[in-house]
């Protein structure tokens, strides 16, 4: 008797779920070529959010372009590509489950990475493994001294961001790369030139862009690179002016900590055993908690890059794309939450906007392939991750 009642309850639940799904779909009428009205306009606006349209100048007509873009969406989401927006198709499009145009291909084959030791490195004698696939948003590099995993992610907004997790055998593999000249780190050059001049690291990403402040005025911050004091020009921590020039300090032993802008002088950092200081901010995560001050820097959405460290010593870098039709950028508060979610115990917001860059084996993966050099911002320095000895 009890078994019969359980079965009946399960049947009722299934029927209820089906009815709920049917009710949701019944809210939409099928839309196809030639249809007009507010429902078509709403469909186009949602498809714009998902990246399938690049302009917001919509008509209320379901025209040939609408059908073409809908077919593209249907293919991306594994649906019948007929260009007809049935109630079922619309229910998916207006849900969080619909894949944006920029999402990795869900049918892509998994990476056949080699076996590694307990620390994630290759055994002695094996050649480095490298994999790069822009279409699926996956980049991997594994050697005897280095393990890098990068994944592209998307969300409604629309948002696109890259998450890199880096494990190194030796702390010296994390290095500062400054443009050359009379004053290191003050010449504005393409990121590719910095890399070619300084040995092509496996991974590189933008730093605090202190050279821009040197060239054009304003507080520079406390800048130490490779154990050498370059500038000792802190901003008062209570100034409230962006960027606050908070510090991410990389110690000689690989320890990474965050400090307020005027916590220590450059000489004190060197005496403490700090190899590099990066001055930008604000601090996003400190001592395993989201820094409460990270929420007071407004709600502006921009391209951003942050660097942090997990408790196990792995370095985490998040590069958020923006100022594009398919990616609008994020707030500082979003960045702090993301670094915390990724397990960072310390994290700092680096320079953002057009400065942001992430370069994997010479390919700037946060930009479209073959982006013209005129569209790439000249910078003064990078943070590089290189092979160990």
Q: How many domains does the chain have?
A: 2
Q: Looking at the domain assignment, is residue 121 inside a domain?
A: no
What number is the average pLDDT over the span 154-162? 90
Q: What is the mean pLDDT of the chain?
A: 90
Task: Give the domain range for residue 222.
Answer: 129-385
158-163 mean pLDDT: 94
How confident is residue 222, by pLDDT bands cut at 50, 70 and 90? Answer: very high
Indicate if 149 and 294 belong to the same structural domain. Answer: yes
Query: Token match 């084959």: residue?
Result: 109
The domain boundary, picked from 93, 121, 149, lies at: 93
Does the pLDDT at position 326 exceed 70?
A: yes
Q: Domain check: are 80 and 146 in the same one?
A: no
Tell me if 237 is assigned to some domain.
Answer: yes
Residue 7 has pLDDT above 60, yes or no: no
Tokens of 11: 């049947």
Q: What is the pLDDT of residue 156?
A: 82
Assigned domain for 299 exists: yes
- 176 and 78 in one domain? no
Q: What is the dihedral of CA 50, 54, 58, 62, to 10 degrees?
A: -70
Mean pLDDT of 219-227: 98
The two tokens of residue 374 are 């005129």
Q: Which of 3-7, 36-40, 209-213 has the lowest mean pLDDT?
A: 3-7
Whole-prediction pTM: 0.76
Same domain assignment for residues 56 and 150: no
296 is a domain residue: yes
Q: Judge whether 102 lies within some domain.
A: no
Give pLDDT, residue 16.
43
Which tokens in the block code for residue 225? 């690179």
Which helix (H) or strand (E) segment is 256 a member of?
strand 256-259
Q: How confident is the model at residue 105 (pLDDT cuts 50, 70, 90)?
A: low
Residue 328 included in any domain: yes
Percentage of the chain exceeding pLDDT 70: 90
Q: Find out whether 35 and 62 touch, Cβ atoms under 8 Å.
A: yes
pLDDT greater at residue 23 or residue 282: 282
What burial letters (b/e) apply to 263-289, b meaning 16+ CB within 10 Å?
A: bbebeebbeeebbbbbbbbbbbbbeee
Are 199 and 148 members of one domain? Answer: yes
* Least trusted range by pLDDT, from 49-53, 54-58, 144-148, 261-265: 54-58
Residues 224 and 361 in one domain: yes
User: To which H or E segment does residue 177 belong?
Assistant: strand 174-178
Q: What is the predicted pLDDT for the residue at 101?
A: 81
Residues 274 and 318 in one domain: yes
228 in the same domain as 169: yes
The answer to whether residue 13 sits within a structural domain is no
pLDDT score for 113: 77
pLDDT tens digit string along 331-376?
999 999 999 999 999 999 999 999 999 999 999 999 998 889 999 9
What integer pLDDT is reported at residue 106 of this predicted model? Answer: 57
- Are 157 and 79 contained in the same domain? no
Same domain, residue pair 186 and 249 = yes
CATH code for the domain in which residue 67 is found: 1.10.101.10
What was the pLDDT predicted at 71?
94
Q: Which tokens in the block code for residue 88?
A: 């079922």
């Amino acid at each position: 008797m009890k078994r019969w009642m359980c079965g009946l309850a399960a049947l009722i639940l299934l029927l209820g779920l089906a009815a709920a799904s049917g009710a949701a779909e019944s809210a939409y009428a099928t839309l196809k070529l030639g249809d007009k009205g507010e429902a078509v306009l709403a469909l186009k606006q949602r498809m714009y959010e998902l990246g399938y349209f690049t302009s917001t100048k919509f008509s209320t007509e379901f025209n040939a372009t609408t059908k073409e873009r809908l077919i593209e969406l249907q293919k991306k989401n594994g649906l019948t590509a007929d260009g007809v927006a049935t109630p079922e198709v619309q229910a998916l499009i207006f849900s969080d489950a619909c894949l944006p145009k920029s999402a990795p291909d869900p049918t892509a084959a998994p990476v056949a990475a080699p076996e590694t030791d307990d620390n994630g490195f290759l055994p002695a004698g094996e050649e480095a493994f490298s994999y790069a696939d822009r279409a699926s948003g996956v980049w991997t590099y594994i050697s005897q001294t280095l393990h890098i995993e990068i994944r592209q992610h998307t969300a409604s907004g629309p948002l696109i961001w890259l998450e890199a997790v880096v494990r190194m055998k030796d702390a010296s593999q994390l290095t500062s790369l400054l443009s050359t000249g009379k004053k290191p780190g003050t010449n504005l050059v393409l990121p590719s030139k910095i890399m070619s001049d300084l040995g092509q690291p496996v991974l590189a990403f933008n730093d605090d862009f202190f050279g821009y402040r040197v060239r054009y005025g304003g507080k520079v911050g406390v800048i130490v690179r490779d154990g050498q004091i370059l500038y000792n020009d802190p901003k008062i921590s209570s100034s409230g002016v962006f960027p606050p020039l908070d510090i991410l300090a990389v110690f000689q032993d690989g320890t990474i900590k965050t400090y307020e802008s005027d916590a220590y002088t450059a000489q004190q950092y060197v005496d403490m055993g700090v190899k590099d200081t990066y001055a930008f901010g604000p601090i996003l995560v400190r001592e395993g908690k989201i820094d409460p001050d990270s929420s007071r820097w407004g709600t502006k959405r921009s391209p951003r890059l942050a660097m942090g460290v997990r408790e196990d010593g792995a370095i985490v870098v998040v590069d958020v794309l923006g100022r594009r039709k398919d990616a609008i950028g994020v707030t500082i508060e979003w960045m702090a939450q993301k670094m915390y979610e990724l397990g960072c115990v310390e994290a700092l917001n680096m320079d953002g906007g057009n400065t942001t860059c992430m370069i994997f084996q010479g390919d700037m993966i946060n930009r479209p392939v073959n982006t013209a050099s005129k569209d790439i911002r000249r910078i003064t320095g990078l943070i590089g991750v290189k092979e160990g000895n």
